[in-house]
Structure 1
C-alpha cells in the first residue's frame, strides 16, 4: 500500500479527523486556562470559564464569559492567542485538503463540487498545500501586525513592546476571524480610526475568503474568465453581502444617537462598513451591539448565519452554500431542469448537499434558541442573536453571554464546536459518500406548496 493510498483511507472519515483534533486542542487549552498563572488574580478561572474561553478561541468565535482585558494574565492571553492560531490554521488546512480531495485535483483550480471518484494524492502535494497555507497565513498576519503596530506606536504613544504585542495579538485574532480583543469595549474606542479598523477588516475578509480562492486570485487575477466556480461565487456573494450590509446599517442606524448618530459622515461610513464585515465571522465591534436597533440585529443574524467562504477561517453555512441555493432557486423559477453557473452545470449532488447543510443548520439554530429561551430570562431577539453568533463562530453579542448561566454556557460551547466543525465535516462527508444507485424506482409527482 502506497503512502498516498494510506492518506486517502485516513481521510475517508473527516468527522473523526476534525472532531478529534479540535476536541484535543480544546482540552489542552482548557487545562492551561485553569492554571492560576493564567489569570490576573492568580486564582483559577474554573473549568466552565476555561472550557468556554478555550472553545471560543479554538473555534475562532470570540464570545467571552469574562473580560479578556481584566481577567486573563499575559500568560492567559498568549494561550488564547495560540489557540486562535491553531484553530484558524487547522481549519483552513483541513478544509483546503478536503476540498482538494473532493475535487480530485491538486492545484489552484480545485473544483467546487464532488466527483464520484478521487484520484491519487501524493505526499509531496500534501506537504506543498500545508506549507503554502501556513506561509499565506504568516504573511497576512505579519502585514496586518506591522500596520497595527505602527499605528499604536505613532498614534497612541504605546511603548514599542506593548505596540508589537497589541499588533500581533489582534492580527492573529483578525485573520483567523476570532474576534478576541484586549480591550473591554472591543474596538469601540477606534470607531473612527481607519488605520485600526481597515487593516483588521481587511484581514477578516482575506482570512474568510479561504486559501483556495486567494491562491487562485494570486495566480490568475488578470484572467477572471479562467476563475473556478468556487472563486466566482465566493467573491460575488461576499461583495454583495458587504455592500448590502453596509447600506442597510447606514440607513437603519444613521440617526441612532447611541451608534452612528454621534459620528460625522465619514465616521458613519467607516463604522457601517466595519459593522457589515464583522458578522461574516470577524467578531470585533466598533459600535455597541446592545445599542443597535432590533432591525439591525436581524440583519446581523442573517449575515452571521451565511458566514464566509469555504476552506477559510470564517464560520456559518458559507457563502458558497448560500450562492448555490440562490442559483437553484433561480433555475426553479425559470423552469429549467439544470442549474447553470456561468458555463458550468451544477451537479445534483452539490444541490442536495447545499440544501442539507442549510436545513440542518436552521434546525440546529432553532433547537438551540428554544433551549436557551427556556434556560434564560432573555428575549427572543437577544437569544437568537447569541445562538446564531455561536453557531456562526462570530463572537458578536448583545451583552448576555455572561448571564446565561453554567448550563447555557455549556450549550453555547456545544454550539460553537458544532458550528466550527459541523459544516465542514458534513459537507466533506456528504461529498465523499456520493454513490450511484444501479436502479431507479417509479416516479410519482408530489404536491409542493
Structure 2
C-alpha cells in the first residue's frame, strides 16, 4: 500500500520526445547501419521533393509536377546532374539554394552522411557510427566483416576523416570559386551574379554533379581554358575520394607510405583519363559537329575535358548527341567505371576495375593470389568486385530494357542516358528531358541505385550473415 501511494505521489518522469526519437533511430542503426543509411538518403529525397514542388521554389510561382520534383530531388541528392527541366530557368532563388545545399549534402556520401547525422543526434561518435563511416571508405567491412584497416582508413581515424570531409569540401570548393570569380568579372559578368555562379559551379564541379546556372550551358565558356581548367580540377579532386584526400592531407610528401587503395586509385584514374583523351582524339577528329573544326591544341584540350567529365563530372562543351556512335560507347564505358571509392563520383569505381585486372593477370601467370604494389589482395575482394560489376550491369540492363519500351528511342541514346544515371554522371543525349513520367520514375530509381551503391544495397537487403557449418562436395563446372 505504501509503495503504491509513493508511486502515485512520485510518478515516473515524462520521457522527452527527443529522447524517444533518438532511441528509435539508434535502434535502427544498431540492427543494420546500411539500412539506416539508405533510410536517411530516402528521407532526404522525400524532403527535397516536397521542397522542390512548392510554388516558392519555382521561378513561375507555380507547383512543380511530382515527377519533375522527385527527379530533381533524386538527381540533386544523388549528385547526378540529369534533369527533366531547364535548371537555369525552372527554379527561383530559393530553388537554386536548395540545389546548392542538396548537392553538398549528397556529395558527402550516403554512409558518411548517416554517421554525421547519428553523431549530431547522440552528440558523440560511437563505435557504431565509426563503423558506418568506415564502411564508406572500405565497403568490404559491411560485406565480409573485419579486414585490414590499413587498406583504407583505420577505424580510430574515422573521426579525423569526417573532419577532413568537411574541411576538404569547403577548401576545394572555395579554391575553385576563387579561380572562377575573377574570370567571370573579366568576361563582363556583374559582380553579384559572378559570385553566385562561381560558388554554384565550384559546388557542381567538386560534387561531380554538372548542373549549369546558365541557360546556354557552357557554350559561353567553351573556349575559355582557364574556366574549363578550373572545373576539371574540381571534378578530378572530387572523383578521387575522401580517403585519398585524407592521405594527401597527412602525408603528401611521403607517397611510399600511401595505402594500396590510394595508389590504385591514383594510377587507374590517371590511366583512364589519358586513355579516354586519346580515344576521343582518334574517334572525333573528323567530326565537324564536335572537334573536327578545331586545331591540334584545341582538340587535345577538349578531348581531355571530355574524358574527365565522362568519369562523373557531367559538364560538356558540345552536344552529346553529336558524338559518333563509337564515342558514345567509349563514354558509356568511362561513365560505368566512374571515379574513386568514397568519392562524389559514381560508377563501379576505379578500384573495382583494377581488382578485376589484377585477378586476370594473376590467372594468366598461374598465381594463386593477386598482388599490387608489393601487397597481396585477398580473394574476398575479388568476389566483392565481381558482385559490384554484376549488380551494376544488371541495373543498367533492366533500366535500358524498360526505357526502350517506354520511350521507343534508339538503343545508343537510351543506353547512354541510363549509364549516366547509374553512374551519377549527368551527361545526356537529350533523351531525359523528353521522357514521359513513367520513364522519369525509372531513371530516378536508376540514379538512386547507382548512388546508394550496389555493395551497400546488397548489405542492406541481407538481414544477417549465417555461418555454414558444413561443406558440400566440390565439383568444377566448365568455364570459358
- Normalised TM-score (structure 1): 0.90
Alignment of 1:244-283 (within 5 A): 244-283=275-314
Give the equivalent residue in structure 2 for 1:345.
376
* Selected match of 1:309 from 340, 348, 351: 340
Q: Which SS does the other structure have where 2:453 is aligned?
A: helix
Is 2:82 the counterpart of 1:63? yes
Is 2:176 the counterpart of 1:147? no
Give the equivalent residue in structure 2 for 1:3.
none
How many positions carry a matched residue from both structures?
441
Q: Which SS does the other structure have where 1:68 is aligned?
A: coil
Q: Quote the offset at 1:50 in angstroms.
A: 0.8
Distance 1:268 1:96, change over 3 A: farther
Give the equivalent residue in structure 1 for 2:385.
354
Q: Quote the offset at 1:341 in angstroms.
A: 1.5
Give the equivalent residue in structure 2 for 1:101.
131
* Distance in 2, Cα, partners of 1:127 & 1:11: 19
Distance 1:41 1:74, change over 3 A: same
* Distance in 1, Cα, partners of 2:348 & 2:216: 28
Give the equivalent residue in structure 2 for 1:164.
195
* Distance in 2, Cα, partners of 1:99 & 1:293: 47
* Selected match of 1:27 from 46, 56, 72: 46
Q: Confirm or deny: 8 A CA contact 2:34 2:132 kept in the other structure.
A: no
Q: Quote the offset at 1:99 in angstroms.
A: 12
Is 2:83 the counterpart of 1:52? no
Q: Quote the offset at 1:161 in angstroms.
A: 1.1
Distance 1:104 1:166, change over 3 A: closer
* Selected match of 2:476 from 421, 428, 445: 445
Alignment of 1:86-235 (within 5 A): 86-91=105-110, 93-94=112-113, 101=131, 114=141, 116-117=145-146, 126-154=158-186, 156-235=187-266
Q: Confirm or deny: 8 A CA contact 1:230 1:320 kept in the other structure.
A: yes
Residue-by-residue CA offset, 1:317-358 (whole Å, 9 max, x unaligned): 111111111111111122211111222211121111110111
Distance 1:119 1:337, change over 3 A: closer
Q: Confirm or deny: 8 A CA contact 2:247 2:258 kept in the other structure.
A: yes
Residue-by-residue CA offset, 1:343-374 (whole Å, 9 max, x unaligned): 22111211111101111111111111111111
* Distance in 2, Cα, partners of 1:432 & 1:311: 24
Distance 1:140 1:8, change over 3 A: farther
Q: Which SS does the other structure have where 1:212 is aligned?
A: helix
Distance 1:123 1:366, change over 3 A: closer
Q: Confirm or deny: 8 A CA contact 1:66 1:402 kept in the other structure.
A: yes
Q: Confirm or deny: 8 A CA contact 1:306 1:322 kept in the other structure.
A: yes
Q: Confirm or deny: 8 A CA contact 1:353 1:427 kept in the other structure.
A: no
Q: Quote the offset at 1:103 in angstroms.
A: 11
Q: Confirm or deny: 8 A CA contact 1:301 1:385 kept in the other structure.
A: yes
Distance 1:100 1:93, change over 3 A: same
Q: Confirm or deny: 8 A CA contact 1:280 1:303 kept in the other structure.
A: yes
* Selected match of 1:15 from 34, 47, 53: 34
* Selected match of 2:359 from 309, 323, 328: 328
Q: Confirm or deny: 8 A CA contact 1:116 1:434 kept in the other structure.
A: no
Alignment of 1:403-442 (within 5 A): 403-426=434-457, 437-442=468-473
Q: Which SS does the other structure have where 2:313 is aligned?
A: coil
Q: Confirm or deny: 8 A CA contact 2:130 2:155 kept in the other structure.
A: no
* Distance in 2, Cα, partners of 1:66 & 1:285: 17
Q: Confirm or deny: 8 A CA contact 1:105 1:119 kept in the other structure.
A: no
- Normalised TM-score (structure 2): 0.84
* Distance in 2, Cα, partners of 1:34 & 1:416: 19
Q: Which SS does the other structure have where 1:345 is aligned?
A: strand
* Distance in 1, Cα, partners of 2:296 & 2:450: 36
* Distance in 1, Cα, partners of 2:219 & 2:207: 20
Distance 1:104 1:271, change over 3 A: closer
Q: Quote the offset at 1:15 in angstroms.
A: 2.9
For structure 2, the 5+ residue unaligned runs are: 1-24, 117-127
RMSD in angstroms over aligned alpha carbons?
3.1
Moved more, 426-435 or 336-345: 426-435
Distance 1:335 1:396, change over 3 A: same
* Distance in 2, Cα, partners of 1:322 & 1:369: 22
For structure 1, the 5+ residue unaligned runs are: 1-5
* Distance in 2, Cα, partners of 1:346 & 1:430: 26
Q: Confirm or deny: 8 A CA contact 2:49 2:70 kept in the other structure.
A: yes
* Distance in 1, Cα, partners of 2:364 & 2:82: 40
